[in-house]
Amino acid sequence: MQTIRQLPALRAAIAALKQDGGRVAFVPTMGALHEGHLTLVREARRQADHVVASIFVNPTQFGPNEDLDAYPRREAEDAALLAGEGAALLWAPDAATMYPQGHATKISVSGLDSVLCGAARPGHFDGVATVVAKLFNQVNPDLALFGEKDWQQLAIIRRMATDCDFALEIAGVPTVREADGLAMSSRNAYLSPDQRRAAAALPRALNAASLAIAAGADVPDTLGRAKQMLLSSGFGSIDYFDLRDGSTLADSAICHPGARLFVAARIGTTRLIDNVAVGQEIPGAGQG
């Protein structure tokens, strides 16, 4: 596996991968790789001839009081994992390469960026959309894969790719979970052992609400019970626990086809997010 840090070398390497008509799949990451990321790489290998991954901790998607400096960086270990999964190339630019002096452009996806995580993190999704657009232009993939755990991000990237006429396919890959249902996330490493045990209440609450609403339960009452379950299990606060349209992210008080449940809650200093289609059961979360 090649590791490339400069844009001219990247473009030459991508051209070489594509010269015989090879299909290139792209998996963008911020590193600190876990099984969820590796699942994306495996799916990319299944769908394409060559897999390109990137590692870039993007400063423009972190707020003033967020964890940019604390975000785990372990490129050597991550590169070894990617190589073991058969990735052909790792694109690992630094901030000066991604945002050279004088960089003044940003991409904003109006509407989708102002709800859910966007309400609590203003500007976050501008940073996401801008860096992903740049990565698409740099890597020029035929296919890009993203995890469904970050469903709002996936919806925004799909809208951005459509609106900006990117000639590539965007694929969502189902959330990879721990045995107790907790969605895999780089931020799970911040949890103490006690917090990690308590965090299992999040997929349990999400699972219970999903099945109850699918069975016809009152939506506001169900969401209220789910929030109380989280607070009584050790979560300190809840940013949102909403029923929304899976495409537009519009809020809803009634269930309809394509509806999803979205949750973000804090345990200690760690903010966890998750989502599920209404009626979908979360493996491992039906106990306790």
State pTM to two decimals: 0.94
Mean pLDDT value across residues 19-32: 95
Check: CB of residue 139 under 8 Å from CB of residue 54. Answer: yes
Residue 288 has pLDDT above 60, yes or no: no
Nearest to 55 by CA among 4, 129, 114: 4
Residue 196 has pLDDT above 80, yes or no: yes
Residue 204 sits in the same domain as residue 162: no
Domain boundary residue among 139, 173, 207? 173
Unique residue bearing structure tokens 């999704």: 125
Report yes or no on 18 lying in a domain. yes
Residue 101 sits in the same domain as residue 128: yes
* CA 166-167-173 angle, 5° bins: 85
* Exposed e or buried b per residue across 177-203, where buried means at least 16 C-beta atoms within 10 angstroms of its C-beta: bbebbbbbbbebebbeeebbebbbbbb
Calculated CA dihedral for residues 58, 61, 64, 67, nearest 10 degrees: -60
Tell me the pLDDT tens digit for each residue of 210-247: 999 999 999 999 999 999 999 999 999 999 999 999 99
Residue 254 has pLDDT above 90, yes or no: no
State the pLDDT at residue 287.
59
List 273's β-bridge partners, or say none: 264
The active-site residue out of 37, 50, 103, 256 is 37
| CATH code (residue 45) | 3.40.50.620
Mean pLDDT value across residues 106-131: 95
256 noted as active-site residue = no
Distance CA 108, CA 74 (A): 30
Distance CA 247, CA 64 (A): 29
Residue 101 sits in the same domain as residue 202: no
Mean pLDDT value across residues 131-155: 98
Residue 57 sits in the same domain as residue 136: yes
Mean pLDDT value across residues 72-99: 97
pLDDT-based confidence at residue 94 (cuts at 50, 70, 90)? very high
- Give phi and psi for 184, each to the nearest 5: -65, 135
Domain, as residue range, for 249: 187-277
Angle between helix 124-139 and 7-18 (nearest 10): 60
Distance CA 288, CA 280 (A): 18
State the pLDDT at residue 232.
98
Tell me the pLDDT tens digit for each residue of 42-81: 999 999 999 999 999 999 999 887 778 888 899 999 999 9
Residue 21 has pLDDT above 80, yes or no: yes
Check: CB of residue 207 under 8 Å from CB of residue 282. Answer: yes
Residue 30 sits in the same domain as residue 146: yes
Query: How many domains would you assign to the chain?
Result: 2
